[in-house]
Amino acid sequence: MNIELYTFFLVTTVMLILVPGPAAITVAKQAASHNSKLTFLSVLGVASADVLFFILSATGIASLIIASSLVFSIIKWFGIAYLLFLGISAIFSKAGPVNVDVQLTTMNPAKAFSNGLVIQLANPKALMYFSALLPQFVDPKEPVILQMVLMGLTCFIADLVVYSLFGRMGAQLARKRVKSWVINLINKAAGTALIATGIKMVTLGSTK
């Protein structure tokens, strides 16, 4: 995987994670209600769920590459269309303010981890994201396993970093709402990144 393709993958992945969703709100609540150790365990749970989704997607995509280059190409173009759809939807979506209600409760480390794991596993969009995203950045002419490992580690680390930032924002979220214009700005930035990725993949595909 060349550096340009990897950079596109990294930016797109981070922008996807940055869009506030159930996992981000859960982590923020943990940070507002409990200590940083428990919050990190929730973040680790979210990242572990994404690892499972990534493995499922990567295994299927690797099988397609081995079985049929034509089928892989078809899936790749469907993925491009899906990325463009996600980008347009994010740009034109209307988001409301985010508010975190703090409820101080006792929680053990196992529950903190399972909360993050379950909330992300219950979100099938993550699996769809990976299924659409990975084919765009895989070069069938290079070692597929190494590419998958690199992208998997990147996703895991990005999850840890971004969701930890959501955790740090927990106290602020507990005191006041995050304004709707901030959420809309994040959505539009993420949407623009997704559309840029889709267009870039179309350009790369047309030059091969």
pLDDT at 207: 43
Phi, psi of 145 (to 5 degrees): -60, -45
8 Å CB contact between 188 and 94: no
pLDDT at 160: 92
pLDDT at 157: 94
Give mean pLDDT, residues 96-114: 65
- For residue 129, pLDDT over 70 is answered with yes
What lies within 8 Å, CB to CB, of 171 at 6+ separation is 31, 32
* DSSP-based three-state secondary structure for 96: coil
- For residue 10, pLDDT over 60 is answered with yes
8 Å CB contact between 40 and 167: yes
In sequence order, the β-bridge partners of residue 178 are 98
Percent of the chain with pLDDT over 90: 6
Determine the residue type at 69: S
Q: Which residue has the higher pLDDT, 178 or 32?
A: 32
In sequence order, the β-bridge partners of residue 98 are 178
Indicate the average pLDDT of the chain. 75
Give the pLDDT band (50/70/90) at residue 39: confident
8 Å CB contact between 189 and 105: no
Dist CA 83 CA 90 (whole Å): 11
Give me the helix-helix angle, 69-92 and 180-206, nearest 10°.
150
CA 122 to centroid of chain Cα atoms: 14
The number of CA neighbours under 13 Å toward the Cβ of 113 is: 6
- For residue 165, pLDDT over 60 is answered with yes
Residue whose structure tokens are 């840890």 = 160
pLDDT tens-place string over residues 45-91: 999 988 888 888 887 765 665 566 666 667 667 767 877 887 787 77
What are 145-150's contacts with CB under 8 Å, separation 24+? 145/62, 147/1, 148/58, 148/61, 148/62, 150/1, 150/6
**Which pTM value belongs to this model?**
0.67
